[in-house]
Amino acid sequence: MDMRLFIAINFDGEALDDLVRLQTELRDCGAEGNFTRPENLHLTLAFIGEYGNPDDVLDVMETVPFRPIPLKVEGLWYFRDMYFARMGHVPELESYVRRLRRALSENGIPFDRKRFSPHITLIRKVSFKDGVPGEVPEHVNARETVAKAVSLMHSERGKRGMIYTEIGSIDGG
């Protein structure tokens, strides 16, 4: 049976606190919409979509060495009807994603080939009270974090929104 899969970096601790605080700041500016639940905040590296064998994906992930990577949110980004936390330029992350995607391709595992643009979705279907945003923060006060693992995630629709479940992960040592 096919499962909806993606490969991601998950957040916890101070990094997760900072992302939730950014959502609160947007809410305080009058933003309304579907706020990503804290346990679902992540950075997608490769969206696979419907695929029948997650073990094959994990096997490929294990062939691509992963080392801890420093990450920092550098700003907010509004596109269509969504707000994102935009990540700074991180050559180590971009190199890892290129190697990961190449390995997926070489092993016949399909994935969305859109250009990698590191971001974390904070709100979907955004609207503003009275149709006008308050003062959306221009500068983001977020601490640097270190990505220590990469996870294969299963995505399914639940009664209260999306449910993301980690199937397995590759530890960066």
Average pLDDT of span 85-90: 90
pLDDT of 137 above 80: no
DSSP state of 116: P
Distance CA 2, CA 108 (A): 15
Q: How many secondary structure helices (H) and strands (E) does the chain include?
A: 3, 10
pLDDT in tens, 114-133: 999 999 999 999 998 877 67
CA 36 centroid distance within chain: 11
Q: Is 34 or 135 the better-scoring residue by pLDDT?
A: 34
Cα–Cα distance between 35 and 37 in angstroms, integer? 6
What pLDDT is attached to residue 131?
A: 73
Which value, to the nearest 10 degrees, does the dihedral of the CA atoms of residues 33, 84, 111, 88 take?
-170
- Tens digit of each residue's pLDDT (9 = 90 or more) over 14-53: 999 999 999 999 998 889 999 999 999 999 999 999 999 9
User: Which of 90, 84, 115 is CA-nearest to residue 101?
Assistant: 115
Distance of alpha carbon 9 from the chain centroid: 6
